[in-house]
Structure 1
């Protein structure tokens, strides 16, 4: 009787109805408005970026690749550390991928290191150490540390276990007070990471991809949607509809975009990547991004890619599993897409 569930359901339906006339327009007419609404929802971007001022922090020779840790300036007083994995014996310049970790202990998790970086982590966990899987396929891989995780947590969280404690809530809520969002800041840093990557002599600027897991999938999706220098994207455990996932259960606050629903659902935001290559993978038992929601998103994306005349550039894999990276088809798909 007192629950606000019906209120929220009616709110969604009314917002969808308000935007119905716009949503009935052909995709070719709509996509420019969708892009502008995404930019507005993410918050203000700086007019002039800071100089990158990159530095090399360390370099190690691994089995089959060189591992560098570098750092660069992204925005105002923010410095971003990242790992760069360079395969041994590649023909340079080579295709490259920016890999985005999800909630967890940060970039070390996907490059196979322990949380403190002192040694290798034997258990691949939910991420499958996917940065390692990609470098083994001959791709240069960059794994930045997303703000709010690992070494980039606020001081209040730095003494806590990085596997369990992030600064997402504190960052997202405080940024809202300035008309900014955690999602927007992370996408901005993704674009700055791409700026750095394109300055590396090992990298072919015409063959750049991105892959993200869960919250990292959001960064991969929106950075690829807004920056056409990215030619191929893999979204692992993220693509869905808003109603079927973010509005159906509790997610981290960093996933929510102000005022976006009257204008676009998540598949349309992801669809801004079209006609460039896109692959969606998701576990059939994923409790955070339910399979039916993923299927609905894929159906919408198929329509968008058909409208762009690029149906062959959309791939997917609904694998037996939960909220995790699979890679059973996505790794080779991404490598092939970037070598084409």
Structure 2
């Protein structure tokens, strides 16, 4: 009798009507406004390429047989440094394509570069991240895997002694940033853009062939940072694309996924659609309980409409694979390699 479910349904319906979602307003009439609303919602961080010195330092370098693994650190804000792994293929023939790789919830960047939480080699079966940075570097791409703030080595001091596989600092960071009108998603996207600034200083990297890939919460960073930075030419989003109603509003997710006051303007697939006309690949497991397949299909249909409206429907692809909340890569890794290779051959975006 006193359940608030009907109230939340009413709020959602009103927000959706206020947004004027497609087909009520043409996409090309909305996208510039929507991009600005996204920036405001994230907390008005400085998302333009920064001129401030990155002060990069190489902490260590290892020869891994077919690639070199570096641990680097660079400045993302006056009081923030970001560590990252950089994987460089051996025997490069000139400048190489490069990929920003964003891990999901877990113990941080080590989880995608084939390392255990303590930094030793993980020689067992890969987990849901599938060590995908290794898959990409072995396809000839330079890969940077930054440590997202709130995970692994970048947790708050109160969380630093806890098991990094089970404990993050997402809630504390997100809730405190809200007091200043900022979001954790916005801070992470600002750091993603600074990571791209750093990547483009590398002699091995072709600045015209930059891609991004992200899994789960890393999918939020890969997709939304790409909407705001057109230097990224091709994007793979793993286990994140859905509608707000089908996922974030229907179950409990980590607070780092939520953005205040965005629903009166757009649903999640429209935000991701700001990547267009650049290339986008969406993959998701058909048994993923966090991003249910029906919501993925609904989001993919909206994205297909956006890419058709942009006149580039061939630049959007989807793979719904047999699996749960995990990285697949059965089509997406080759797709990303192909997209960045075609840019070398002189094809347009």
User: TM-score w.r.t. structure 1 length?
Assistant: 0.98
**1:60 equivalenced with 2:62 (yes/no):** yes
| Alignment partner, residue 245 of structure 2 | 243
How many Å separate the matches in 1 of 2:23 and 2:82? 38
User: Which residue is equivalent to 1:218?
Assistant: 220
What secondary structure does 2:206 align onto?
strand
Q: Give the Cα separation in 2 of the matches to 1:302 and 1:49.
A: 36
Select 1:120's aligned residue among 119, 122, 126: 122
Contact 1:52/1:196 (<8 A) preserved = yes
Residue 64 of structure 1 and its aligned partner are, at CA, apart by 0.7
When structure 1 is superposed on structure 2, of 202-211 and 43-52 the one drifting more is 43-52
Q: Which among 145, 160, 163 is matched to residue 161 of structure 1?
A: 163
Verify the 8 A CA contact 1:23 1:263 in the aligned structure 2. Answer: no
Report the counterpart of residue 200 of structure 1 in structure 2. Answer: 202
Give per-residue Cα distances to partners, 1:72-94, cap 9 Å, x unaligned: 00012000000000001121200
Tell me the alpha carbon deviations over residues 236-292 of structure 1, each in whole angstroms, 9 at most, x when there is no partner: 000000000000100000000010000010001000000000000000000000000
Structure 2 distance, partners of 1:122, 1:169, is 31
Residues 125/232 of structure 1: CA separation in 2 closer, same or farther (3 Å cut): same
Q: Who is 1:315 aligned against?
A: 317
Are the equivalent residues in 2 in contact too, given 1:22–1:30 (CA < 8 A)?
A: no
**Could you say what secondary structure the match of 1:127 adopts?**
coil
Distance in 2 (alpha carbons) for counterparts of 1:20 and 1:336: 36
Distance in structure 1 (CA, Å) of the matches to 2:173 and 2:268:
23
1:29 counterpart = 2:35: no
Matching of residue 76 in structure 1 with residue 70 in structure 2? no
Task: Tell me by how many angstroms 1:21 deviates.
Answer: 7.5
* Equivalent residue, structure 2, for 1:20: 20
Superposed CA offset, 1:24-46 (max 9, x none): 22111110011001000000214
What's the C-alpha RMSD, in Å, of the aligned pairs? 1.2
1:5 aligns with 2:5: yes
Q: How many residues align?
A: 340
Q: CA deviation at 1:66?
A: 0.2
User: Contact 1:236/1:281 (CA < 8 Å) preserved in 2?
Assistant: yes
1:31 match: secondary structure: helix
Could you give the per-residue CA deviations for residues 269-327 of structure 1, whole angstroms, max 9, x where no partner exists? 00000000000000000000000000000000000000101100001100000000000
Q: What is the rounded CA distance, in whole Å, between the counterparts of 2:331 and 2:141 in structure 1?
A: 16
What is the CA distance between 1:49 and its match in structure 2? Answer: 5.5
- 1:178 maps to what in 2? 180
Q: Which residue of 2 aligns with 1:45?
A: 45
Deviations, residues 5-36 of structure 1 (Å, cap 9, x unaligned): 11101110011112228862211111001100
Q: Which residue of 2 aligns with 1:289?
A: 291
Quote the Cα distance in structure 1 between the aligned partners of 2:86 and 2:236: 19
Deviation at 1:156, TM superposition (A): 0.7
Matches within 5 A, 1:78-117: 78-117=80-119
Structure 1 CA distance, aligned partners of 2:83 and 2:286? 34
Residues in 1 aligned to 2:91 and 2:137: alpha-carbon distance in whole angstroms: 12
1:127 Cα offset (Å):
0.5
Change (3 A) 1:49 1:161: farther
2-structure distance, mates of 1:49, 1:162: 33
CA deviation digits over 1:78-134, x for unaligned, max 9? 000000000011212000000000000000000000101133342310000010010
CA distance in 1 between partners of 2:167 and 2:145 (Å) = 20
CA contact (8 A) 2:21 2:266 kept: no
Q: Is 33-42 or 119-128 further displaced after alignment?
A: 119-128
